[in-house]
């Protein structure tokens, strides 16, 4: 080993190697960090792109249904009791008393059989009529056409004879459950 050997090892080999390795480790660490950031950003971008595609598909699905949905929302926002009364008031005058006559119109406060199973808001309308089968069916057709949110919960038809004339007529009791829904912020 000459007088040059140790200084060459120290300054020519060890120091530059250590310095370079240090920088190399730093650069590798930075590259690794950059790679992580890049992968993370690309993953976010991939998710974002997929989400945008999903949004476009959702939009294309929802857009044609939106007018119907808006109409349904309007229907569900109305008070079915009032609508029911107004409809009957407009339909029943067309019939003679013997053909169809409204007995009672009540709005039960309990949720009924359907209401127990679901969480949707609802209103029940219980009406009784006396008269013939045909007018009754026609009236129900008209009311239910105007109130698609109404579901027939029960129907009871019994044959009765008039006390004085002994003439037979039908007593019809109808209970409807009408769905209600109000958007947030519109209550």
Partner 1 sequence: MLNIVHPGELKPADIYRQARTVASKTSRSGDADWYRAPEELTCQWHIWFDGGREVVSATFSRENCRWRPGPELQLANLTTGERVKEILGEFFSTKHFDTKPKSLGVILHVADEFGLSEIVDIGDGALEGGDDFGVLRYNLMDEPLEVLADRDVSIESTSWRLLPFWGALPGQSRSVAVAMSRTRETFLKTLMNCGEEMRMPIRVAVTSAPVEAFAGLPLAHPELAGGCLVVMPYSKQTAVFALSPEGELRVARSLGHRGGSLTPAGFGDILWNMAVGAELAGGEHAGKPKVLLVSANAKALETAAEELEMFSMSRQALECEILDLTTLPALAEVPGHLLEFLSYDAAALEKVRSGVAQLAATDTFSAFWQGWAHQNYMDIARLDMLYPTRNDFKLLRLARWLLTLLVLALLGTGGYGTWSLLAAMNHPSWHLTQEDVQQAKASNTKLLNEQKQIQRTEKLMLPRSRGWVTMEFLLQLFPEDSGVRVDSYNYVLDTARPAPSAARGKAPEPEFSGLIRSWQIKGLVKPKAMELLSGINSQRGVSAFFEQLATATGDDSYRPDPDRQITVSLTQGRNSRYDPQASIGDLARDPVMAYPFNFEITISQTLTDKDVLALPVAKPYGT
Does the CA dihedral 30-36-40-46 come out positive or negative? Answer: positive
Q: How far is the CB of 102 from partner 1 (least distance, A)?
A: 14
Nearer to partner 1, 89 or 154 (CB): 154
Residue placing its CB nearer to partner 1 in the complex, 2 or 104: 2
**Minimum gap (Å) between residue 97 Cβ and partner 1:** 20
Which residue, 38 or 94, is less far from partner 1 as judged by CB? 38
Q: What is the DSSP string of 92-122?
A: GGGS-TTTEEEEEEE--SS-HHHHHH--SEE
Shortest spacing between CB 23 and partner 1, in angstroms:
6
Which is nearer to partner 1, 105 or 181 (by Cβ)? Answer: 181
CB of 177 to partner 1, least distance (A): 8
Helix axes 80-91, 133-146, angle to 10 degrees: 140
Q: Which is nearer to partner 1, 14 or 98 (CB)?
A: 14
In whole angstroms, what is the distance from residue 96 CA to residue 86 CA?
18
Question: Nearest CA to 118 among 63, 179, 67, 66?
Answer: 179
- Longest Cα separation, the chain: 142
Minimum Å gap between C-beta 43 and partner 1 is 8
Ramachandran area for residue 178 (φ above 0: left; ψ -120 to 50: alpha; else beta): beta
């Amino acid at each position: 080993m000459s007088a040059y050997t140790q200084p060459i090892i120290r300054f020519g080999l060890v120091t530059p190697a250590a310095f370079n390795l240090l920088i190399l480790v730093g650069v590798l660490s930075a590259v690794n960090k950059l790679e992580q950031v890049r992968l993370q950003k690309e993953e976010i971008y991939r998710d974002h792109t997929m989400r945008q595609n999903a949004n476009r598909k959702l939009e294309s699905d929802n857009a044609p249904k939106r007018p119907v949905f808006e109409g349904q929302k309007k229907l569900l926002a109305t008070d079915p009791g009032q609508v029911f009364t107004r409809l009957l008031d407009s339909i029943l005058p067309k019939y003679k008393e013997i053909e169809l006559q409204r007995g009672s119109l009540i709005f039960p406060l309990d949720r009924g059989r359907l209401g127990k199973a679901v969480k949707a808001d609802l209103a029940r309308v219980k009406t009784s009529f006396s008269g013939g089968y045909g007018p009754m069916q026609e009236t129900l057709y008209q009311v239910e056409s105007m109130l698609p949110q109404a579901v027939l919960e029960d129907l009871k038809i019994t044959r009765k004879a008039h006390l004085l004339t002994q003439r037979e007529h039908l007593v019809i009791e109808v209970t409807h459950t009408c769905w209600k829904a109000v958007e947030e912020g519109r209550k």
